[in-house]
Structure 1
Amino acid sequence: MAERLIGLMSGTSLDGVDGVLALVEGDGRLTVHHHASRPFEPALRAELLALNTPGPDELHRAALAANGVARAYAQVVHQLLQDAGLGPGAVAALGAHGQTVRHQPLAVDGVGYTVQLLNAPLLAELAGIPVVADLRSRDLAAGGQGAPLVPPFHRAQFGQPDATLAVLNLGGISNLSVLPPDGSPAAVLGFDCGPGNALLDLWCQRHRGQPYDADGAWAAGGRVQAPLLAALRAEPYFVLPPPKSTGRDLFHAGWLDRHLAGFPGLAPADVQATLAALTAGVCVDDVRRHAPGAARLVVCGGGALNGDLMRRLQAGLPALRVESSAALGLPPQQVEAAAFAWLAWRRLQGLPGSLASVTGARGERVLGALHAA
């Protein structure tokens, strides 16, 4: 029986909240009916970014930021309900990821941890809808990476009956899903490739005062600096085998500045071009390494709207058709929010939301804590 679900996502790029109101059929197929987005207020965005690194009074500040995230999410929920002409009771549940500020899947005692800031009970109060949140922790407890979470949804939504499909999400961090043909014994593969928009946005904000490089135009006008690119690509994470996941814990301003210290005097546009080459290049390498049988690369996330990145991907993968997820019926900025609506539906059904082949956990697990309205 079909149910209405809401999915909410705020990613590593920290550009704000995307939400969808979707209908999920009994077989798990999802159709988005409404989409809404809202940028974070500047003060909240700045605090969320600051909380990615150690600082004073973190527990108090993180708790207040979690309240702020809940309120920002609730505003998107109210907009979706208003657009659809529905009351809260018409929605079975909402899936909410929260804002990741720490992701340490490997710890000294063998069990890692992950922190997504969100006051889920407050969100349930404000929205009047049951909330499914804390979607990574159970997989981590089972020995997994807890991320990426989207490959099972990619398989359900985009999987092809007779062809291998690669799906690349270009958010703040890039992640790749490799989907074998339906019915194939080969396992779905998924992992984080490396930086997506995070470093590009950081550099653009620092030097141009803009939140992002629109269409990649600034990067396209720069010249890739081969020595700097080689130094950036020497990062050991890039050659680790899956399962693996990463975030701002590794790819942050300090990481970039340490590398730039060895290359003084570079033009900012050339650094931006080099960061674009890094972002696209590590994704190209992973597609070649892990999806050799794919004929198509479907790109979603904000990076799918960056023409320069898309051209770099296509140039690096000339034998593949590189295209936006819109070609498969789901616009790129709706895919991750839709995934969290789908994961909330799985939680309500008591069905696993993870894949051990993706996260490396001991098995599939039902994900998320449910907070009643």
Structure 2
Amino acid sequence: MTTLSSLYIGLMSGTSLDGVDGVLADFADDGAIRTLGAAFVPFGAPLRADLMALQASGVNEIEREALAGNQIAAAYAACVAQLLPAASGPVRAIAAHGQTVRHRPELGFTRQTINAALLAELTGIDVIADFRSRDVAAGGQGAPLVPAYHHAQFGKPGQTRVVVNIGGIGNISVLQAGGAVTGFDTGPGNVLMDGWIARHQGKDYDADGAWAASGRASEALLGVLLAEPYFAITGPKSTGRDLFHMAWLDAMLARSPALPAADVQATLTRLTAVSIARAIHGEAVNIDAVYVCGGGAYNGALMRELAAALGGDVTVESTAALGVAPNRVEALAFAWLAFRFHQRKAGNLPAVTGAKGDRILGALNPA
């Protein structure tokens, strides 16, 4: 009798469009999830520009998306190559998220670009991709999908923990003491901060929030930003660059007095923190701790703003305190979804996404 491998590779490229985060994970029979290796492959500037352009409709976009999908597959394959030396045996499957270029669940679709068939050819390993579409087909938002994994990895009976993922977009997973899980996309994570510093300083992101810390947040501008109707909608809900983009920010800035650029950055940092804190307070009364993952966990100014917005009696730490580096959590989540695919078990949480029921997520591209 052949023993099936418990090794999976998870690959994630998020709303920040910076590159591919990859992990090699072992899903053991005892339920433990062990990370055996991690890697990051940055997207080159031309691919980043192509992906940014695909966030909105344009000329010949079907061909441009297909070509970008081939490039993404190549970047994913390069990440796999970095991870394979840490494998103690064959990898059963690669979980490939792809790059979200449109997210319109209200219209019945979500689009994560990658040529999964090409990735299977390049690696010689089964590839499971297109994780979000089945949940959308079942009437769900298709996002966030990470709360089910957060519950498996970080949940603790008798404690109410909140896991906050701050990538380009922010989302929360509320892991209730009694076992119930809720969550949704809270709004912008790093997407507006990254766009603003790129415009004014030519940088990809605000390292440690240093530029934001040099400015002074404007409560007047913050009020204008928080008036966005999305923040008042109750979950299930999800969002992305389809709503929160630089044109949206420019429209909001036009409604407010002019500010120094650093003050705008400080205000955008506070917007992310306050919108997350309000979402958490709306979901849970007694919180034992808040754990942050994603790139936002490395932004000191943002972490301080979040702690202040939540109140001084709430512990705010990164997921490193729970044994998982913040930049590995999302890739691990999709490796877990591939593991669930092979178990023929659901990967979504209808209470989170709004789907009509439990669904097995993903589509298989055999090696």
TM-score, with length taken from structure 1: 0.95
CA distance in 2: counterparts of 1:60 and 1:11, whole angstroms = 22
Q: Are 1:99 and 2:99 an aligned pair?
A: yes
CA distance in 1: counterparts of 2:204 and 2:272, whole angstroms = 17
Q: Are 1:5 and 2:33 an aligned pair?
A: no
In the TM superposition, 1:1-373 aligns within 5 A as 3-26=6-29, 28-82=31-85, 84=86, 90-107=90-107, 112-181=108-177, 184=178, 187-263=180-256, 265-317=258-310, 318-373=312-367
Please list every run of 5 or more consecutive structure 1 residues that lacks an aligned counterpart in the other structure: none
SS of 1:103 mapped into structure 2: strand
Q: 1:26: Cα distance to partner?
A: 2.8
CA distance in 1: counterparts of 2:5 and 2:322, whole angstroms = 21
User: Once the two structures are superposed, what CA deviation does each residue of 1:187-231 show, in whole Å capped at 9, x if it has no partner?
Assistant: 310100000000000001110111100000100110111211111
Identify the range of structure 1 (256-265 vs 225-234) with the bigger mean alpha-carbon deviation. 256-265
CA distance in 1: counterparts of 2:150 and 2:302, whole angstroms = 21
User: Once the two structures are superposed, what CA deviation does each residue of 1:63-104 show, in whole Å capped at 9, x if it has no partner?
Assistant: 00111111110000001113x166xx7100011110001001
CA distance in 1: counterparts of 2:289 and 2:364, whole angstroms = 37
Q: Which amino acid aligns with 1:328?
A: L
SS of 2:14 mapped into structure 1: coil
Identify the range of structure 1 (25-34 vs 115-124) with the bigger mean alpha-carbon deviation. 25-34
8 Å CA contact 1:178, 1:290 repeated in 2: yes
Q: 1:27: Cα distance to partner?
A: 5.1
CA distance in 1: counterparts of 2:321 and 2:220, whole angstroms = 37
8 Å CA contact 2:224, 2:255 repeated in 1: no
Q: 1:125: Cα distance to partner?
A: 0.6
CA distance in 1: counterparts of 2:360 and 2:96, whole angstroms = 15
8 Å CA contact 1:187, 1:357 repeated in 2: no
Q: Which amino acid aligns with 2:341?
A: R
Identify the range of structure 1 (264-273 vs 243-252) with the bigger mean alpha-carbon deviation. 264-273
CA distance in 2: counterparts of 1:57 and 1:138, whole angstroms = 27
Q: 1:316: Cα distance to partner?
A: 1.5
Q: Which amino acid aligns with 2:158?
A: D
8 Å CA contact 1:2, 1:26 repeated in 2: no
For the structure 1 residues 2 and 64, does the alpha-carbon distance in structure 2 shift closer, same or farther, using more than 3 Å as the test?
Answer: closer
Q: How many residues align?
A: 363
CA distance in 1: counterparts of 2:197 and 2:287, whole angstroms = 33
Q: 1:287: Cα distance to partner?
A: 1.1
SS of 2:10 mapped into structure 1: strand
For the structure 1 residues 366 and 211, does the alpha-carbon distance in structure 2 shift closer, same or farther, using more than 3 Å as the test?
Answer: same
CA distance in 2: counterparts of 1:222 and 1:291, whole angstroms = 32
User: Once the two structures are superposed, what CA deviation does each residue of 1:320-364 show, in whole Å capped at 9, x if it has no partner?
Assistant: 100000000000000000001100000011111011111111101
User: Once the two structures are superposed, what CA deviation does each residue of 1:219-253 show, in whole Å capped at 9, x if it has no partner?
Assistant: 01101112111110000000101000000000011
Supply the RMSD in Å over aligned alpha carbons: 1.2
Q: Which amino acid aligns with 1:73?
A: Y
TM-score, with length taken from structure 2: 0.97
Please list every run of 5 or more consecutive structure 2 residues that lacks an aligned counterpart in the other structure: none
Identity of aligned residues (%): 58
Q: 1:29: Cα distance to partner?
A: 3.0
Q: Which amino acid aligns with 1:323?
A: E
Q: Which amino acid aligns with 1:344?
A: A
Q: 1:28: Cα distance to partner?
A: 4.2
SS of 2:106 mapped into structure 1: coil
CA distance in 2: counterparts of 1:34 and 1:156, whole angstroms = 20
